[in-house]
Amino acid sequence: MNFDYTEEQTLLDNMVTSFVRDNYDWDTRCNIVKSEEGWKEENWKQFAELGLLGVPFEEAYGGLGGKSADLMIVMEQFGKGLVVEPYLPTVILAGGLISKLGSEEQKNSIIPQIISGNIRCAFAYAEPQSRFDLNDVKTSAVLNGDDYVLNGFKSVVFGAGMASHLIISARTEGEQRSDSGITLFIVDTKSEGLTLQNYPTIDEYRASEVIIENLKVSKDNVLGKVNMAYDAIEEIVDISTIAACSEAVGILQVLKDSTTEYCKNRKQFGQSIAKNQVIQHRLVDMMIEYEQAKSILYMAVTADLSDSDERRRAVSAAKARIGKAIKFVGESAIQLHGGMGVVDEYMVSHYFKRATMIGVLFGNTDYHMKRYMTLTQSGIKSSDEAISVSVT
């Protein structure tokens, strides 16, 4: 049992840490998020040069063959720097689906392009009525000759505006909320029939509403098997959820540390406000929440993710618990910063906003709590043996 990084992981950690330190100081980041594009292509090129874009992909396609622990390292450091480039949507989410479901031809044509930084992809799955349910798909795809014709609407698609390709989930069969009958399509974002309405998010990332009207997609661009995409979507969203949790843990560390520093320096009534026990205990509780969040992330990262039940249970446990930590650490950070906490100019509010939106991403605390309960409840057996409870 150990929680140490391997030599390669330490190198990776150092590399991403230096990238953030050297390229992502606060002013630089402010300029990036204010720009028309909302990201910096130069940074993306550097990700490619550093090999970051290949972390989770198989070596056969030019990747590094990394696992969840490696993605955790990248995302945690990105969290610390509030890096806005669409790494999660492209590499982990869309990239994950292509790796999982793609034909040899699709993988050979797309994955090396992602790794080299030439293209970015995004995954359009959520719909206005679906909330967090991945199986709730109204967007339809009907086969007409050699093409599918898609119609529908996709909500809050992160990174779509920077992507050359979208992966779209659509219903080819079955009821609106049926697991079976969902198919994935790879589509060029410039395709006729596809309209992107791009906008910034409250935490300064970029997302799009995607309007799909009589979009023709060749049968060759189906990703995976027709009607059978649901399990893979759930799995890759789970893996992406761990990545989002990792980003959150990085953010929580910054919130905890910067709030502690702020309280040491801020003087009122002639002394540092950190001299007040009520402040000290709040800071300690922030630290405890951070440590608990990090611990449950480690639980998820070291779980056997190839076992789908264990994966679901671990992911939902982590997301629900980290969601709780996000709320406590985030709100406490703002409260303890006082007036400085609520202004746009000071960085703490930006970390708080990003952490809060990660709380929503891929399902909020209640959603994952419910999923966790559904999963663990099946393991409960009623017992007719006499039992006595002792916790001492």
Partner 1 sequence: MDTAFSNEDLKFQSEIRDFIKTNYPQELRDSINSKRKLGKELSREDLTAWHKILGKHNGWSAPSWPKQYGGAEFTPTQKYIFEQECAKAECQYIMPFGINMVGPVIYTFGNEEQKAQHLPGILSGEVFWCQGYSEPGSGSDLASLKTSAVKEGDHYIVNGQKTWTTMAQYADWIFCLVRTNPDAEKPQQGISFLLIDMKTPGVTVRPIKLMDGSHEVNETWFDNVKVPVENLIGQENMGWTYAKFLLAHERSGIAGVARSKKAIERIKQIASSEMSYGEPLIQDPAFKAKIAAAELELSALEYTELRTLAKDSAGKGPGPESSLLKIKGTDIQQAVTELAMEAVGYYANPHLGTTLSNEYVGPDYATNLSGTYFNFRKASIYGGSNEIQRNIIAKMVLGL
Binding site for partner 1 (CB under 8 A): 1-5, 9, 69, 260, 263-264, 274-275, 277, 280-281, 283-285, 287-288, 291-293, 295-296, 298-299, 301-302, 317, 320-321, 324, 369, 372-373, 376-377, 380-384, 386-392
Q: Which residues contact 99 (CB under 8 A, 6 or more apart)?
A: 56, 57, 58, 61, 107, 111
Of the pair 9, 140, the CB lying nearest partner 1 is at 9
Q: Which residues contact 36 (CB under 8 A, 6 or more apart)?
A: none
Of the pair 35, 295, the CB lying nearest partner 1 is at 295
CA distances for 357 relative to 179, 244, 253, 317, 364, angstroms: 27, 10, 16, 18, 9
Of the pair 161, 250, the CB lying nearest partner 1 is at 250
Q: Does residue 184 contact residue 160 with C-beta atoms inside 8 Å? A: no
Least Å from the CB of residue 299 to partner 1: 5
State the angle between helix axes of 308-337 and 277-302 in degrees (0 to 180), rounded to the nearest 10: 160
* The two structure tokens encoding residue 76: 């945690």
Least Å from the CB of residue 356 to partner 1: 19
Least Å from the CB of residue 238 to partner 1: 17
Of the pair 138, 264, the CB lying nearest partner 1 is at 264
Least Å from the CB of residue 156 to partner 1: 27
Least Å from the CB of residue 300 to partner 1: 9
- Which helix H or strand E contains 211, and what residues bound it? strand 206-218
3-state SS class at 215: strand
Burial class (CB in 10 A: 0-12, 13-18, 19+), 325: buried
Least Å from the CB of residue 318 to partner 1: 9
What is the DSSP code (8-state) at residue 183? E
CA distances for 65 relative to 70, 102, 170, 381, angstroms: 9, 16, 30, 40
Of the pair 214, 306, the CB lying nearest partner 1 is at 306
Of the pair 202, 386, the CB lying nearest partner 1 is at 386
Least Å from the CB of residue 56 to partner 1: 16
Q: What gap in Å lies between CA 296 and CA 248, rounded to an integer?
A: 12
* The two structure tokens encoding residue 379: 């393991």
- Which helix H or strand E contains 239, and what residues bound it? helix 230-265
Of the pair 214, 378, the CB lying nearest partner 1 is at 378
Q: Give DSSP secondary structure letters for 80-129.
A: HHT--SSHIIIIIIIHHHHHHH--HHHHHHHHHHHHTTS--EEEE---TT
Least Å from the CB of residue 323 to partner 1: 10
Amino acid at 296: I
What is the DSSP code (8-state) at residue 82? T
